Amino acid sequence: VQLQASGGGLVQAGGSLRLSCLASGGTIRQNGMGWFRQAPRQQREFVAAISWNGDSQFYADSVKGRFTISRDNAKNTVLLQMNSLKPEDTAVYYCAKSYYTGSYYHVPASYEFDLWGQGTQVTVSS
């Protein structure tokens, strides 16, 4: 399985973007999925996660209420809708597949994610 993230770009503060993560060469329908991001000179951080069936989501406090993660298992796709973007959201965003098959009630550990996409750049101007 390979993950391909897309949808990044340049947007003004307050604007919106929708990121997509397409899985090819296999299925992700039985896996939890997540989005992470990494800003320049900073460590990678968790953004959002969704359970295999979409019934459970968890968000980082910094994006809660602004970002929404969803998935379409029929299309092998995970989405991240980002609204009310802020300059501090500027980062490379990565989607990742987890071996975890349960619900999300807390920030998942990075080691739970065993497959990563190549990342898509999101830049928010002030």
| pLDDT tens-digit map of 17-62 | 999 999 999 999 999 999 999 999 999 999 999 999 999 999 999 9
Q: What is the pLDDT of residue 100?
A: 85
**Which of 73, 69, 60, 76 has its CA nearest to residue 23?**
76
Q: Which amino acid is at 20?
A: S
Burial grade of 55 (CB within 10 A; 0-12, 13-18, 19 or more)? exposed
pLDDT at 75: 95
What mean pLDDT do residues 99-114 have?
89
Structure tokens at 74: 């029929």
- Residue 71: is its pLDDT beyond 90? yes
pLDDT surpasses 90 at 105:
no
For 124, counting Cβ atoms within 10 Å of its Cβ (0-12 exposed, 13-18 middle, 19+ buried), the class is buried
Per cent of the chain over pLDDT 70 is: 100
| Helix (H/G/I), strand (E/B), else coil: 25 | coil
User: 83: closest CA among 66, 105, 63?
Assistant: 66
